[in-house]
């Protein structure tokens, strides 16, 4: 190793060999030095950054990997900020984790550090859905919370999400202030451990009942329809994760009595042995559940990712096959169901609102406008949805909302996406559609397209791993800012929105207007025919994402297949124009 980076890497690796680290960690560092210089560089070339979404990365030894030491640094920094912010108070926090390898180890480390700092800690006895952690913070009126999870990332990953007293992931100014405190932790000796174990209270299954009861009390809209179709067949898979108990429990509490859980995927296992990726966005991940659905003749196939904040939905068509909805379609269905029932029950008085992110289908805006309900557009990330809910708490009522990445939240008792409640709501919507219209959810979705317009979306993710990949992603964004496309699929690009500079430019007139949002590294192009393309580097994965949204009129359900083919062809032309296929 000769260059400056190599010297930095070797110096940091040597510090781990010489420092106060356990022997197994030191042995692995020594192995990398002797046998795997590339992995050594990836593990030590930088310190894992505590970003605005917390931590997420590959597990292993090193300053740029998820391990008890990087988790410890993050927790001590968060603890120091909490002590400053709530000076003079007994700080109270909750800690939860998902099914990933090392999640329990990391969660216990977090609880130990918080307790050693004098905090009152509520630690769940086993894995729990992320939304239950959010609920716990609000229910017990805590100051903060942490959940150990890497959501739907591959099995090599783990992560760390920090939550604030409103039950939402931390937002400005707290996120930046926590980052500053974490950066001050430069040595293991600054991390407090092994003290005050009596400060840790274990939360067991009795607390789950409070969460499930709140879901039912706050969001159930059609108990009569559920009673009539309680034996509707539902297949559910937790994908080896944290929804394994709570989703069936919620469905039962809503009144459903005929739920089939995919047995092989009900095994809690951080290696996710039955899937390549534990991501319900991917059809191949859902194949086993859909096969059980076909076998049982299920009306509905549901899935949750490992931390049970994202929902996957597959609907049976008239031919008996299953269509896996994308997140935009799931949101459109759930939002349409909620607003329809609120209207039928006489509960819309002009003081309600819904929320979606800027990369999510405009169909949500159309549905909200039909019911005279305000629809907020916000940056990607549920913490921005939670921020809008917080800002409107005293003046207006939040009904529901979400984002295209398979996240939905009905009601405001939780402040993060909640697949437990979303599964229950989807099942209830299916029972209601069958009861009131004699339709399946898939048939109702087609009718909604006739009513509001046929919105069709697609996503392309370019994966670029490691240091070089991160640099390449940033260069792609620089190039697009310097030279945005002038035309896509034969339609002129009229508007360019840059959410980093917070400027919207009319490409014909040159007029620039400000964008009223927080700054984020996102570009958006809007063409003359209403097509919207968004480009965004992921904040949690080594990806840059391209979101495509097109629209056409759907004169009748009978023309569904033809119009869908036209929209798919149009998106393909756009991808070709951007050299993405």
Catalytic residue status for 151: yes
Beta bridge partners of 465: none
Helix (H, G, I), strand (E, B) or coil at 304: strand
The answer to whether 496 and 523 have CB atoms below 8 angstroms apart is yes
CA-closest candidate to residue 526, choices 500, 554, 550: 550
- Of 103, 144, 151, 222, which is the active-site residue? 151
Q: Pull the structure tokens for residue 315.
A: 């609907």
The answer to whether 420 and 324 have CB atoms below 8 angstroms apart is no
Residue 465 has a CB neighbour count (10 Å cut-off) of: 13
**Alpha helices (H) along 61-201:** 68-85, 103-116, 130-139, 174-183
The answer to whether 289 and 224 have CB atoms below 8 angstroms apart is no
DSSP state letters, 173-201: THHHHHHHHHHT--SGGGS--S--GGGEE
Beta bridge partners of 535: 523, 546
The answer to whether 182 and 73 have CB atoms below 8 angstroms apart is yes
Q: Pull the structure tokens for residue 67.
A: 């391990």
Residues written for the chain: 581
Helix (H, G, I), strand (E, B) or coil at 517: coil
Q: What are phi and psi of 448, to 5 degrees?
A: -65, -35
CA-closest candidate to residue 536, choices 450, 454, 476: 476
Strands 491-498 and 503-506: antiparallel
**Distance (Å, whole) CA 96 – CA 469:** 32
Q: What are phi and psi of 99, to 5 degrees?
A: -95, 5
DSSP state letters, 520-579: -S-EEEEETTS-EEEEEE-SSSSEEEEEEEEEE----GGGHHHHHHHHHHHHHHHHHHTT
CA-closest candidate to residue 292, choices 340, 338, 247, 258: 258
Burial 8-42 (b: 16+ CB within 10 A, else e): ebbebbeebeeeebeeebeebbeebbeeeeebbbb
**Distance (Å, whole) CA 227 – CA 248:** 17
Q: Which residues are catalytic?
A: 151
């Amino acid at each position: 190793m000769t260059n400056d980076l190599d010297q930095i890497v070797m110096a940091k690796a040597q510090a781990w060999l010489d420092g106060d680290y356990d022997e197994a960690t030191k042995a692995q560092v020594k192995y990398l030095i002797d046998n795997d210089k590339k992995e050594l560089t990836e593990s030590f070339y930088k310190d894992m950054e505590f970003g605005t979404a917390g931590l997420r990365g590959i597990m292993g030894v090193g300053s740029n990997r998820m391990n008890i030491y990087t988790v410890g640094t993050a927790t001590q920094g968060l603890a120091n900020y909490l002590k400053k912010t709530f000076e003079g108070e007994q700080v109270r926090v909750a800690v939860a984790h998902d099914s990933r390898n090392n999640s329990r180890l990391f969660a216990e480390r977090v609880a130990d550090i918080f307790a050693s700092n004098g905090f009152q800690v509520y630690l769940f006895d086993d894995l729990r859905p992320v939304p239950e952690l959010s609920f716990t913070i609000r229910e017990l009126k805590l100051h903060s919370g942490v959940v150990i999870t890497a959501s739907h990332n591959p099995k090599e990953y783990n992560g760390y999400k920090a939550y604030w007293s409103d039950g939402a992931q931390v937002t400005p100014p707290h996120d930046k202030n926590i980052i500053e405190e974490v950066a001050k932790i430069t040595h293991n000796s600054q991390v407090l451990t092994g003290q005050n174990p009596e400060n840790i209270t274990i939360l067991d299954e009795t607390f789950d009942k409070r969460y499930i009861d709140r879901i039912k009390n706050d969001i159930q809209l059609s108990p009569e329809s559920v009673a009539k179709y309680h034996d509707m067949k539902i297949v559910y898979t937790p994908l080896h994760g944290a929804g394994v108990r709570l989703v069936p429990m919620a469905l039962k509490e809503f009144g459903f009595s005929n739920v089939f859980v995919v047995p092989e995927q009900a095994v809690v296992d951080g290696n996710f042995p039955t899937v390549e990726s534990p991501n319900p966005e991917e059809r191949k991940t859902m194949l086993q559940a859909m096969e059980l659905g076909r076998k049982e003749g299920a009306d509905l196939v549901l899935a949750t990712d490992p931390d049970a904040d994202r929902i996957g939905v597959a609907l049976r068509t008239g031919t008996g096959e299953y269509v896996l909805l994308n997140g935009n379609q799931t949101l459109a269905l759930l939002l349409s169901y909620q607003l329809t029932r609120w209207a039928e029950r006489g509960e819309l008085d002009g003081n309600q609102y819904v929320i979606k992110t800027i990369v999510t289908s405009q169909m949500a805006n159309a549905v909200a406008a039909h019911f005279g309900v305000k629809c907020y557009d916000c940056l990607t990330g549920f913490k921005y949805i939670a921020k809008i809910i917080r800002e409107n708490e005293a003046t207006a009522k939040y009904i529901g909302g979400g984002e295209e990445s398979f996240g939905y939240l009905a009601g405001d008792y939780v402040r993060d996406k909640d697949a437990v409640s979303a599964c229950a709501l989807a099942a209830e919507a299916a029972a209601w559609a069958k009861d009131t219209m004699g339709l399946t959810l898939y048939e109702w979705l087609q009718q909604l397209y006739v009513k509001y317009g046929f919105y069709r979306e697609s996503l392309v993710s370019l994966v670029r791993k490691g240091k070089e990949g991160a640099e390449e992603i940033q260069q792609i964004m620089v190039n697009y800012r310097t030279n945005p496309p002038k035309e896509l699929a034969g339609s002129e690009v009229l508007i360019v929105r840059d959410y980093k500079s917070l400027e919207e430019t009319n490409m014909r007139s040159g007029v620039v207007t400000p964008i009223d949002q927080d700054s984020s590294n996102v570009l958006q192009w809007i063409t003359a025919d209403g097509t919207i393309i968004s480009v965004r580097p992921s904040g949690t994965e080594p990806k840059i994402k391209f979101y495509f949204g097109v629209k056409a009129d759907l004169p009748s359900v009978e023309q569904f297949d033809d119009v869908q083919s036209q929209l798919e062809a149009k998106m393909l032309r756009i991808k070709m124009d951007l050299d993405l296929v």
